[in-house]
């Protein structure tokens, strides 16, 4: 667990391992954040949320053996953000800019979502830094992620954390065809 204070009146942020008991809170945060970060057709966004961010879907995801989930609470007891490390062997050949790395070096940082009410507060940065420190501790030397090309705020956020653009991949969100930027950082 990581507790961070900044000497101001901002509430304390606690970063901790997620458990299946967090599924309801993670579901709510994910749904709220997805709407803000993905400007696709509203019907497509709701269909995606209804499939991928239900409490049951989040319970299953958090409990998956090849993943490590973290949540940020601010104030303590109030989940406002989450992130996941996917420990599945990376198919780096399928992702532009990653083919030169082996799966033992490479971990995917995925599903980083912060409730819109905490954007700009430092909570997401603390969460990602703690999650990447976990990856370092597990022996990984690189982390990668995909971020929607039309989400410049997220792309700038990851750039400040040392991620650089190495490729692109097409994804579908309902009927919308999205291009994800593939970003890579050395740990």
Q: What is the pLDDT of residues 76-119, one digit of tens each?
A: 999 999 999 999 876 666 787 898 888 889 999 999 999 999 99
For residue 181, what pLDDT band results from cuts at 50, 70 and 90?
very high
User: 66 is written with which tokens?
Assistant: 């090849």
For residue 5, what pLDDT band results from cuts at 50, 70 and 90?
very low
Q: How many other C-beta atoms are found inside a 10 Å radius of the C-beta of residue 24?
A: 14
CATH number of the domain within which 84 lies = 3.40.630.30
pLDDT, residue 83, reads 98
Q: What is the pLDDT of residues 115-159, one digit of tens each?
A: 999 999 999 999 999 999 999 999 999 999 999 888 899 999 999
Return d(Cα 114, Cα 119) in angstroms, integer: 7
For residue 6, what pLDDT band results from cuts at 50, 70 and 90?
very low
Q: What is the pLDDT of residues 32-80, one digit of tens each?
A: 887 776 666 667 776 777 777 899 999 999 999 999 999 999 999 999 9
Return d(Cα 123, Cα 15) in angstroms, integer: 9
Q: Look up the pTM and report it.
A: 0.87
How many domains is the chain partitioned into structurally? 1
Q: How many other C-beta atoms are found inside a 10 Å radius of the C-beta of residue 144?
A: 23
User: 52 is written with which tokens?
Assistant: 């991928």
Structural domain boundaries, residue 82: 2-186
């Amino acid at each position: 667990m990581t507790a961070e204070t900044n000497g101001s009146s901002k509430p304390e942020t606690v970063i901790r391992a997620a458990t299946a008991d967090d599924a309801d809170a993670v579901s709510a945060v994910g749904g709220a954040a997805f709407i803000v970060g993905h400007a696709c057709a509203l019907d497509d966004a709701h269909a995606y949320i209804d499939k991928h961010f239900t409490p049951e879907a989040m319970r299953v995801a958090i409990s998956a053996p090849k993943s490590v989930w973290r949540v940020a609470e601010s104030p303590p007891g109030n989940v406002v953000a989450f992130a996941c490390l996917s420990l599945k062997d990376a198919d780096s050949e399928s992702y532009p800019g990653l083919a030169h790395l082996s799966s033992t070096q490479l971990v995917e940082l995925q599903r980083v979502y912060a409730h819109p009410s905490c954007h700009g507060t430092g909570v997401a940065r603390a969460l990602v830094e703690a999650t990447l420190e976990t990856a370092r501790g597990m022996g990984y030397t690189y982390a990668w992620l995909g971020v929607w090309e039309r989400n410049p705020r997220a792309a700038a956020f990851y750039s400040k954390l040392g991620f650089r653009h190495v490729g692109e991949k097409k994804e579908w969100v309902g009927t919308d065809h999205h291009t994800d930027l593939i970003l890579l950082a050395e740990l």
